[in-house]
């Protein structure tokens, strides 16, 4: 599991881990926030995916 964490990039995986902890805490204490935190995670992941695709396009170029 730690190898996958490192392969994903320590910076973004740390952010996603914090967001997961917030999501679990919200599901327990503030269920109304679950949707907003889930959308935040989705946007974070999409931005990171676009950054990866941009880097791949630079390598191909």
Return per-residue pLDDT of the chain as tens, 61 residues: 888 888 888 899 999 999 999 999 999 998 999 999 999 999 999 999 999 999 999 999 8
CA separation for the pair 58, 15 (Å, rounded): 25
According to DSSP H, which parts of the chain are helical? 2-8, 10-29, 34-60
The pLDDT value recorded for residue 15 is: 92
pLDDT score at 7: 86
Cβ pair 19, 44 in contact under 8 A:
yes
pTM: 0.78
Q: What is the pLDDT of residue 10?
A: 87
d(CA 18, CA 57): 29
The per-residue pLDDT for 25 is 94
Specify the pLDDT at position 38. 92
């Amino acid at each position: 599991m730690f190898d996958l964490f490192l392969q994903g990039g320590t910076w973004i995986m740390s952010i996603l881990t914090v967001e997961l902890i917030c999501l679990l805490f919200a599901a327990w204490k503030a269920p109304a926030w679950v949707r907003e935190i889930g959308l935040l995670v989705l946007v974070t992941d999409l931005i990171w995916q676009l950054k990866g695709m941009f880097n791949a396009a630079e390598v191909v170029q």
